[in-house]
Amino acid sequence: MTYKDLQIIFEDNHLLVVVKPMDVPVQADASGDPDMLSMLKEYLVEKYNKPGDAYLGLVHRLDRPTGGVMMFAKTSKCAERLCTAIKNGEVDKKYFAVLEGVPRYKADKLRCYLKKFSDTNTVRIVPALTEGAKYAELDYKVLCEKQNHSLVSVKLITGRGHQIRVQMAGMGTPIVGDRRYGNGAKTKFPLCLWATELRLCHPISGKTMVFRVYPPEIAPWTAFNMDVFLNVSVPNDD
Protein backbone atom coordinates (compact mmCIF):
# COMPACT_ATOMS: atom_id res chain seq x y z
CA MET A 1 0.00 0.00 0.00
CA THR A 2 1.13 3.57 -0.79
CA TYR A 3 -0.40 7.02 -0.34
CA LYS A 4 -1.94 6.61 -3.79
CA ASP A 5 -4.29 4.01 -2.30
CA LEU A 6 -5.59 6.46 0.32
CA GLN A 7 -8.73 8.55 -0.10
CA ILE A 8 -8.16 12.22 0.73
CA ILE A 9 -11.47 13.97 1.35
CA PHE A 10 -10.30 17.46 2.33
CA GLU A 11 -7.09 19.44 2.19
CA ASP A 12 -6.14 23.08 2.64
CA ASN A 13 -3.00 24.83 3.88
CA HIS A 14 -3.61 23.70 7.45
CA LEU A 15 -5.68 20.52 7.55
CA LEU A 16 -5.61 17.11 5.87
CA VAL A 17 -8.62 14.81 6.24
CA VAL A 18 -8.44 11.24 4.94
CA VAL A 19 -10.13 7.86 5.13
CA LYS A 20 -8.00 5.42 7.11
CA PRO A 21 -8.37 1.87 5.76
CA MET A 22 -8.97 -0.99 8.18
CA ASP A 23 -5.90 -2.80 9.51
CA VAL A 24 -3.47 0.01 8.69
CA PRO A 25 -1.44 1.41 11.61
CA VAL A 26 -1.63 5.13 12.30
CA GLN A 27 2.13 5.42 12.70
CA ALA A 28 5.13 3.15 12.26
CA ASP A 29 5.21 0.14 14.57
CA ALA A 30 7.08 -3.14 15.03
CA SER A 31 5.17 -4.74 12.15
CA GLY A 32 6.95 -2.59 9.59
CA ASP A 33 3.69 -2.31 7.62
CA PRO A 34 2.88 0.90 5.72
CA ASP A 35 1.37 3.44 8.14
CA MET A 36 -0.80 6.50 7.68
CA LEU A 37 1.66 9.09 8.96
CA SER A 38 4.55 7.91 6.77
CA MET A 39 2.42 7.51 3.65
CA LEU A 40 0.85 10.94 4.00
CA LYS A 41 4.22 12.59 4.60
CA GLU A 42 5.41 10.98 1.38
CA TYR A 43 2.30 12.36 -0.34
CA LEU A 44 3.11 15.89 0.85
CA VAL A 45 6.76 15.62 -0.16
CA GLU A 46 5.85 14.51 -3.68
CA LYS A 47 2.84 16.80 -4.23
CA TYR A 48 4.58 19.97 -3.07
CA ASN A 49 8.12 18.95 -4.07
CA LYS A 50 9.37 19.48 -0.54
CA PRO A 51 13.06 18.92 0.17
CA GLY A 52 13.65 16.29 2.86
CA ASP A 53 10.82 15.49 5.25
CA ALA A 54 7.39 17.10 5.47
CA TYR A 55 5.67 18.18 8.67
CA LEU A 56 2.46 16.36 9.55
CA GLY A 57 0.95 16.49 13.02
CA LEU A 58 -0.74 13.43 14.49
CA VAL A 59 -3.56 14.90 16.62
CA HIS A 60 -5.72 11.82 17.29
CA ARG A 61 -5.58 8.07 16.74
CA LEU A 62 -7.61 5.12 15.57
CA ASP A 63 -6.87 1.52 16.54
CA ARG A 64 -5.15 -0.40 13.77
CA PRO A 65 -8.22 -2.57 12.91
CA THR A 66 -10.55 0.47 12.95
CA GLY A 67 -11.13 2.39 9.72
CA GLY A 68 -12.79 5.68 8.93
CA VAL A 69 -12.34 9.43 8.87
CA MET A 70 -9.14 10.84 10.34
CA MET A 71 -7.53 14.28 10.36
CA PHE A 72 -3.92 15.46 10.43
CA ALA A 73 -2.40 18.91 10.92
CA LYS A 74 -0.16 20.32 8.18
CA THR A 75 1.34 23.01 10.45
CA SER A 76 2.48 23.06 14.07
CA LYS A 77 0.07 25.94 14.80
CA CYS A 78 -2.84 23.88 13.48
CA ALA A 79 -1.69 20.83 15.44
CA GLU A 80 -1.53 22.77 18.69
CA ARG A 81 -5.02 24.22 18.23
CA LEU A 82 -6.53 20.87 17.23
CA CYS A 83 -4.99 19.10 20.22
CA THR A 84 -6.38 21.81 22.52
CA ALA A 85 -9.83 21.55 20.92
CA ILE A 86 -9.85 17.76 21.32
CA LYS A 87 -8.70 18.03 24.93
CA ASN A 88 -11.48 20.55 25.62
CA GLY A 89 -14.14 18.33 24.05
CA GLU A 90 -14.70 20.70 21.12
CA VAL A 91 -14.25 18.01 18.45
CA ASP A 92 -17.15 15.58 18.08
CA LYS A 93 -16.27 12.04 16.99
CA LYS A 94 -18.99 9.63 15.92
CA TYR A 95 -18.54 5.95 15.19
CA PHE A 96 -20.71 3.19 13.80
CA ALA A 97 -20.34 -0.34 15.13
CA VAL A 98 -22.06 -3.64 14.48
CA LEU A 99 -22.56 -5.55 17.72
CA GLU A 100 -23.15 -9.18 18.52
CA GLY A 101 -26.66 -9.21 19.93
CA VAL A 102 -28.69 -6.19 21.03
CA PRO A 103 -27.94 -3.99 24.06
CA ARG A 104 -30.48 -4.03 26.86
CA TYR A 105 -31.15 -0.30 26.43
CA LYS A 106 -31.75 1.27 23.02
CA ALA A 107 -29.72 4.32 24.04
CA ASP A 108 -27.52 4.96 27.02
CA LYS A 109 -24.49 6.75 28.42
CA LEU A 110 -21.68 4.42 29.49
CA ARG A 111 -19.29 5.51 32.21
CA CYS A 112 -16.47 3.47 33.71
CA TYR A 113 -12.77 3.45 34.47
CA LEU A 114 -10.29 1.77 32.14
CA LYS A 115 -6.74 0.60 32.65
CA LYS A 116 -4.26 -0.47 30.00
CA PHE A 117 -2.14 -3.56 30.59
CA SER A 118 0.95 -3.13 28.43
CA ASP A 119 2.17 -6.70 28.79
CA THR A 120 -0.88 -7.98 26.88
CA ASN A 121 -1.76 -4.72 25.06
CA THR A 122 -5.29 -4.95 26.41
CA VAL A 123 -7.57 -2.58 28.29
CA ARG A 124 -9.92 -3.61 31.08
CA ILE A 125 -12.75 -2.07 33.08
CA VAL A 126 -11.49 -1.58 36.64
CA PRO A 127 -12.67 0.05 39.90
CA ALA A 128 -12.33 3.83 40.01
CA LEU A 129 -9.54 3.84 42.60
CA THR A 130 -7.34 1.41 40.68
CA GLU A 131 -3.84 2.81 40.13
CA GLY A 132 -3.50 4.00 36.55
CA ALA A 133 -7.25 3.91 35.87
CA LYS A 134 -8.68 6.56 33.53
CA TYR A 135 -12.28 7.75 33.32
CA ALA A 136 -14.10 6.77 30.13
CA GLU A 137 -17.46 7.99 28.84
CA LEU A 138 -19.48 7.55 25.65
CA ASP A 139 -23.06 7.77 24.39
CA TYR A 140 -24.55 5.10 22.15
CA LYS A 141 -27.81 4.60 20.29
CA VAL A 142 -29.16 1.47 18.61
CA LEU A 143 -30.06 2.38 15.02
CA CYS A 144 -31.20 -0.98 13.65
CA GLU A 145 -31.39 -4.68 14.53
CA LYS A 146 -30.93 -7.56 12.08
CA GLN A 147 -30.15 -11.26 12.46
CA ASN A 148 -29.01 -10.96 16.08
CA HIS A 149 -26.74 -8.08 15.15
CA SER A 150 -27.32 -4.44 15.97
CA LEU A 151 -26.04 -1.31 14.28
CA VAL A 152 -25.19 1.38 16.83
CA SER A 153 -23.89 4.91 16.64
CA VAL A 154 -21.37 5.90 19.27
CA LYS A 155 -20.33 9.39 20.31
CA LEU A 156 -17.06 9.49 22.22
CA ILE A 157 -16.91 11.87 25.17
CA THR A 158 -13.42 10.71 26.18
CA GLY A 159 -10.88 9.14 23.86
CA ARG A 160 -9.26 6.21 25.64
CA GLY A 161 -7.43 3.44 23.82
CA HIS A 162 -9.74 0.55 22.83
CA GLN A 163 -12.53 2.41 24.68
CA ILE A 164 -15.48 1.59 22.43
CA ARG A 165 -14.43 -2.02 22.05
CA VAL A 166 -14.06 -2.56 25.79
CA GLN A 167 -17.25 -0.73 26.80
CA MET A 168 -19.36 -2.54 24.19
CA ALA A 169 -17.95 -5.89 25.34
CA GLY A 170 -18.63 -4.84 28.93
CA MET A 171 -22.36 -4.71 28.10
CA GLY A 172 -22.21 -8.29 26.83
CA THR A 173 -22.50 -7.14 23.20
CA PRO A 174 -18.96 -7.10 21.79
CA ILE A 175 -18.23 -5.63 18.38
CA VAL A 176 -18.49 -8.13 15.55
CA GLY A 177 -15.04 -9.27 14.45
CA ASP A 178 -13.28 -8.17 17.65
CA ARG A 179 -10.58 -10.79 18.20
CA ARG A 180 -9.34 -9.19 21.40
CA TYR A 181 -12.51 -8.45 23.36
CA GLY A 182 -15.15 -10.53 21.58
CA ASN A 183 -15.62 -13.61 19.47
CA GLY A 184 -13.83 -12.34 16.37
CA ALA A 185 -11.55 -15.35 16.22
CA LYS A 186 -14.61 -17.50 15.51
CA THR A 187 -15.92 -15.33 12.65
CA LYS A 188 -14.72 -14.36 9.19
CA PHE A 189 -15.55 -10.69 9.70
CA PRO A 190 -13.04 -7.90 10.33
CA LEU A 191 -13.58 -5.56 13.28
CA CYS A 192 -16.88 -3.78 12.56
CA LEU A 193 -15.98 -0.41 14.07
CA TRP A 194 -15.89 2.61 11.77
CA ALA A 195 -15.07 6.26 12.46
CA THR A 196 -17.90 7.79 10.48
CA GLU A 197 -17.93 11.47 11.45
CA LEU A 198 -15.72 14.33 12.61
CA ARG A 199 -17.28 17.67 13.53
CA LEU A 200 -15.03 20.59 14.43
CA CYS A 201 -14.29 24.26 14.03
CA HIS A 202 -11.48 24.82 11.57
CA PRO A 203 -8.46 25.65 13.76
CA ILE A 204 -7.52 28.72 11.69
CA SER A 205 -10.69 30.04 10.01
CA GLY A 206 -13.08 29.03 12.80
CA LYS A 207 -15.58 27.67 10.27
CA THR A 208 -17.68 24.71 11.40
CA MET A 209 -16.75 21.64 9.40
CA VAL A 210 -18.32 18.18 9.23
CA PHE A 211 -16.74 15.16 7.56
CA ARG A 212 -18.73 11.93 7.14
CA VAL A 213 -17.78 8.69 5.42
CA TYR A 214 -19.64 5.43 4.80
CA PRO A 215 -18.45 2.13 6.28
CA PRO A 216 -17.03 -0.35 3.74
CA GLU A 217 -19.46 -2.20 1.48
CA ILE A 218 -18.79 -5.60 2.98
CA ALA A 219 -20.76 -7.89 5.30
CA PRO A 220 -22.14 -7.39 7.86
CA TRP A 221 -22.28 -3.64 7.13
CA THR A 222 -24.24 -4.32 3.93
CA ALA A 223 -27.09 -5.80 5.96
CA PHE A 224 -27.99 -2.25 7.00
CA ASN A 225 -29.23 0.60 4.80
CA MET A 226 -26.62 3.22 5.59
CA ASP A 227 -28.35 5.87 3.50
CA VAL A 228 -31.01 6.06 6.19
CA PHE A 229 -28.45 6.97 8.85
CA LEU A 230 -25.66 8.74 7.00
CA ASN A 231 -25.65 11.53 4.44
CA VAL A 232 -22.19 12.37 3.15
CA SER A 233 -23.26 15.45 1.19
CA VAL A 234 -21.79 18.00 3.58
CA PRO A 235 -20.46 21.25 2.07
CA ASN A 236 -17.04 22.23 3.43
CA ASP A 237 -16.00 24.66 0.72
CA ASP A 238 -13.99 27.74 1.60
Burial class (CB in 10 A: 0-12, 13-18, 19+), 5: exposed
| Residue 119: active-site member | no
Pairing of strands 92-100, 149-156: antiparallel
Host H or E run for residue 169: helix 163-170
CA dist 220 and 214 (Å) reads 13
Find the catalytic residue in 63, 119, 139, 238. 63
Residues 70 and 84 sit within 8 Å (Cβ to Cβ)? no
Quickly list DSSP for 168-189.
Answer: HHHTT-PBTT-TTTSSGGGSSP
Residues 58 and 114 sit within 8 Å (Cβ to Cβ)? no
At 209, which amino acid appears?
A: M
CA dist 115 and 117 (Å) reads 7
Active site residues: 63
